[in-house]
């Protein structure tokens, strides 16, 4: 991928994502970048969980300068705007640290789709048809998850096109389950409709991951992430990153238009893509 994060994904990559609901991106982070992020995670963890337990922290992005650049990480961001378009922002992000818990019982049934009411409300319009994607996530792997049993995310590739998932009689994983094995520095991007579940960490390795979610700017934020817009962290963000943190000139701008009802050509990510000749008129969400 282009080091700037603005290079179109290939039709083959788009087709694979639409077919499988997930793409694994090997080596998304350099070792130096991964190590800096892990150090930042450790700093946050030290202040949040003095008991050494599991941490699932929502709205983590502004907790450290290292996290801010993930919004437009060059190796993953092309997949985000290439799949969802330019009228997006990060509505939801979480930091996960899962220490070894070898004696923990597996969840009775942890399988779910992200989105809460984004799953049930559209049924009035779409019925049994696959619901719209509406949001996606990029997950960054900071620890060694190259073997199963280390608390990695479990998924069912292709299940994003199924609105329901039958529970097995004994509560075991459904047919087609894959536990994502990844090396430190890998990442994966997935459709929020993809059926997935957590797993128990039965190893000696502490699982450390960062998840950055993106949705359309006309959807309300999921996380409570108050940002000091007078502080250095905010000043260090680019115009595109500020868009991805919810910045807008007015409410109509969230819908991609100006007050006259026409597309606002100055929306930072749209303007960036247009300047680089990357607005593909053949793809509806990139027009």
CATH code of the domain in which 189 resides: 2.60.120.620
For the chain, how many structural domains are there in total? 1
Residues 44-56: tens digit of each pLDDT: 999 999 899 999 9
Split at pLDDT 50, 70, 90, the class of 262 is confident
pLDDT at 1: 52
In a domain? residue 139:
yes
Any domain includes 5: no
> Does 251 fall in a domain?
no
* DSSP codes of every residue in 91-154: EEEEEEEE---TTPPPPS---B-TTTHHHHTTHHHHTTSPPP--EEEEEEE-S-BSSTTBS--E
Q: How confident is the model at residue 225 (pLDDT cuts 50, 70, 90)?
A: confident
**Euclidean distance between CA atoms 180 and 3, whole angstroms:** 26
In a domain? residue 285: no
Q: Is residue 253 situated within a structural domain? A: no
* pLDDT score at 164: 92
Note down the domain range covering 160: 11-236
The β-bridge partners of 212 are 93, 138
| pLDDT of 221 over the 60 cut | yes
Q: Is residue 262 part of a domain?
A: no
- Max Cα–Cα distance, the chain, nearest Å: 60
**pTM > 0.75:** yes
Structure tokens at 178: 């894959």
Domain membership of residue 269 (yes or no) is no
Q: Give the model's pLDDT for residue 103.
A: 86
Q: How confident is the model at residue 282 (pLDDT cuts 50, 70, 90)?
A: confident
Instruction: Answer yes or no: is pLDDT of 250 > 90.
Output: no
Is 100 a domain residue? yes
């Amino acid at each position: 991928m282009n080091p700037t994060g603005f290079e179109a994904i290939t039709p083959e990559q788009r087709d694979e994502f639409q077919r499988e609901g997930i793409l694994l991106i090997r080596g998304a982070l350099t070792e130096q970048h991964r190590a800096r992020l892990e150090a930042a995670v450790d700093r946050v963890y030290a202040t949040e969980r003095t008991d050494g337990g599991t941490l699932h922290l929502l709205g983590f992005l502004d907790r450290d300068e290292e996290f801010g650049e993930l919004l437009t990480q060059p190796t993953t961001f092309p997949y985000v705007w290439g799949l969802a378009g330019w009228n997006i922002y990060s509505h939801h992000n979480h930091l996960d640290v899962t220490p070894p818990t070898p004696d923990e019982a597996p969840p009775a049934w942890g399988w779910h789709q992200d989105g809460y009411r984004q799953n049930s409300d559209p049924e009035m319009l779409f019925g049994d048809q696959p619901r719209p994607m509406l949001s996606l996530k990029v997950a960054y792997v900071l620890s060694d998850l190259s073997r199963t049993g280390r608390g990695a995310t479990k998924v069912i590739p292709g299940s994003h096109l199924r609105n329901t998932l039958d529970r097995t009689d004994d509560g075991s994983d459904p047919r087609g389950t894959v536990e994502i094995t990844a090396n430190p520095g890998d990442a994966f991007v997935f459709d929020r409709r993809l059926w997935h579940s957590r797993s128990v960490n039965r190893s000696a390795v502490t699982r450390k991951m960062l998840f950055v979610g993106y949705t359309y700017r006309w959807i309300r934020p999921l996380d409570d992430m108050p940002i000091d817009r007078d502080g250095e962290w905010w000043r260090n963000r680019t115009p595109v990153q500020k868009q991805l943190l919810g910045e807008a000139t007015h409410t109509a701008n969230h819908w991609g238009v100006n007050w006259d009802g026409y597309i606002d050509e100055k929306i930072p990510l749209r303007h960036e893509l247009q300047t680089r000749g990357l607005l593909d008129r053949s793809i509806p969400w990139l027009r």
